[in-house]
Amino acid sequence: MAHALATMTHALTTMAHALVRMTHVLNTMAHALATMAHALATMTHALTTIAHALVTMAHALTRSHFDPSLSHNGPSLSYNDPCVNHNGPCLKPQLLWPMP
């Protein structure tokens, strides 16, 4: 009788230990999944940042806000010109590089 009780107690503690180990495995897998999701979000953020930088550089090359003469054919234009301060339609051709 005592041996049967000891065997059942051992079986119960073994199952409890197995349950704890399985819970730990599931928790580890959930943490790994969350880490991979975070890595994917970080890479997506990096790609959108690079894309934003490229768009900003392209915009800077085509319409310079720092030196009006960089995006126009000829000397610096008046700041009343809509091509310079973008307050109206620009009817002049916009050049990527200044003419020599």
- Is 5's pLDDT higher than 70? yes
Q: For residue 87, name the pLDDT band (cuts at 50, 70, 90).
A: low
Residue 80: per-residue pLDDT? 61
Average pLDDT, the chain: 81
Whether 96 contacts 62, CB under 8 Å:
yes
- Cα separation, 68 vs 83, whole angstroms: 9
pTM of this structure:
0.51
Instruction: Convert the pLDDT of each residue in 35-68 to its tens digit.
Output: 999 999 999 999 999 999 999 888 877 765 555 5
Residue 90: per-residue pLDDT? 73
- Cα separation, 46 vs 13, whole angstroms: 49
Single-letter residue type at 60: A
Residue 59: per-residue pLDDT? 80
